[in-house]
Amino acid sequence: MQRRFGFALAAVAVALLVLFAGLRLSHGAGAAAPPAVSEGAKKEGVVVWYATMNTKDMALTVNRFEATHPGITVQTLRVGSAQLPARVITEQRGGKFNADVISGDELQVSQLIAAGAFDKYSPTEANKFVKGTVDANGYWVNLYQNTTVIAWNPARLAADHLKAPSNNADFARPEWKGKFGIDSAAFNWYLGTLQGGKNGADLIAKIAANGPVLTSGHTATVTQLESGEFDATPTAYGYLVDQEHEQKRPIAYLNTNPLLVTLNPVGLAKDAPHPNAARVFIEWLLSKDGQQWIAQEGGGEISSRTDVTSNPRIWNPRAPYVIVRAPDPSTYNDAVRTFRQLFGIPG
């Protein structure tokens, strides 16, 4: 009897250990770095992250990492997409290698790679990501992706007797003249429209000629739309509009067909001052735990991991989409210049 009781206790103990281990894994580090890297990271004790992620989501992501990796502190610098390349290149050319980990829009990350600002690093679970979201040359893996959607203010549409736009071509119609906004920094929307169809260049020229209100940044565009400064915009980020809609803000949106997808890769900075902590941080960011956190709790961005569930309202991997690819570095400046000239954007 005592022997059977002892076996029962042992079985319970094993079950509890398995349960706790499972809980620890589900809330812990995800993909594990090699022991030597993990020990080195603890000795370094800090990792410096330069990113274009919005400040709130960046802070939530850092808090999650630090809670699961005691002893490693993340120091952050939030930089606008347009400013990221200049900041990093200026520092590195001046002999200041301050950043350990860099993440941002693929357009800017490509510029930095061309300038030699990244070191190659292949994370453990890079094979878990959708095709096209891992750099073939080994410099980056996609941290999260954004979608560009059409958004509108229902009250403004009603006041102006307009129907909700169903595609980008609507913004070239006469009744929309001067009644929509275009983010002056939405270079990804411009490239995606060019890459998404054979008549993209002609469509953009017609939209530009239709007198859009120019805004500055994705958040500002949504804020101005909600305040009624214009009726609609084709340059809103899906996750941001969805958050606002769920909070009962005066905004609605439509996923385009095909949906424009912008990658936001993460990689190891050249000559990172805390290389071990940088690797541990990147491993966690791209792990299932890190990606699920970013997709569901850290801001609602879309994960490119095949085993992570993202918000189905803004992402259906079976629906048509176009991944906006960065232009060749030799043609990048020409493309930016053309975009600015079309919309009368200074600079």
At the fourth CATH level, which superfamily is domain 32-144+263-309?
A: Periplasmic binding protein-like II (3.40.190.10)
| Element of type H or E holding 234 | strand 232-237
Alpha-carbon separation of residue 100 from 35, 92, 96, 334, 337 (angstroms): 19, 12, 12, 31, 31
For residue 30, what pLDDT is reported? 53
Q: Are strands 259-269 and 141-152 parallel, antiparallel or unpaired?
A: antiparallel
- Phi then psi for 138, rounded to 5 degrees? 85, 20
Could you give the CA distance from residue 95 to residue 98 in angstroms, rounded to a whole number?
Answer: 9
Residue 213 forms beta bridges with which residues?
181
Alpha-carbon separation of residue 168 from 60, 188, 239 (angstroms): 34, 14, 19
Predicted TM-score (pTM) of the model is 0.86
| Phi-psi map region of 26: left, alpha, beta (phi>0 left; psi -120 to 50 alpha) | alpha
pLDDT digits (tens, 9 = 90+) for 230-282: 999 999 999 999 999 999 999 999 999 999 999 999 999 999 999 999 999 99
Could you give the CA distance from residue 322 to residue 33 in angstroms, rounded to a whole number?
Answer: 33
Q: At what angle do helices 200-208 and 187-196 cross, to 10 degrees?
A: 140
Topology of the domain covering 147-260+330-343:
D-Maltodextrin-Binding Protein; domain 2 (3.40.190)
For residue 31, what pLDDT is reported? 63
pLDDT digits (tens, 9 = 90+) for 3-59: 443 434 344 343 333 333 333 333 444 566 888 999 999 999 999 999 999 898 899
Domain limits, CATH 3.40.190.10, in the chain: 32-144+263-309, 147-260+330-343
Q: Tokens for 304, please give them.
A: 């490119």
Q: Tokens for 15, please give them.
A: 């079950």
Q: Is the pLDDT of residue 197 over 90?
A: no
pLDDT digits (tens, 9 = 90+) for 309-342: 999 999 999 999 999 998 887 788 899 899 999 9
Give the single-character DSSP code of 175.
G
Q: What is the mean pLDDT of the chain?
A: 90
Compute the average pLDDT of residues 175-183.
98
Residue 8 exposure: Cα atoms within 13 Å on the Cβ side:
5
Helix (H, G, I), strand (E, B) or coil at 304: coil
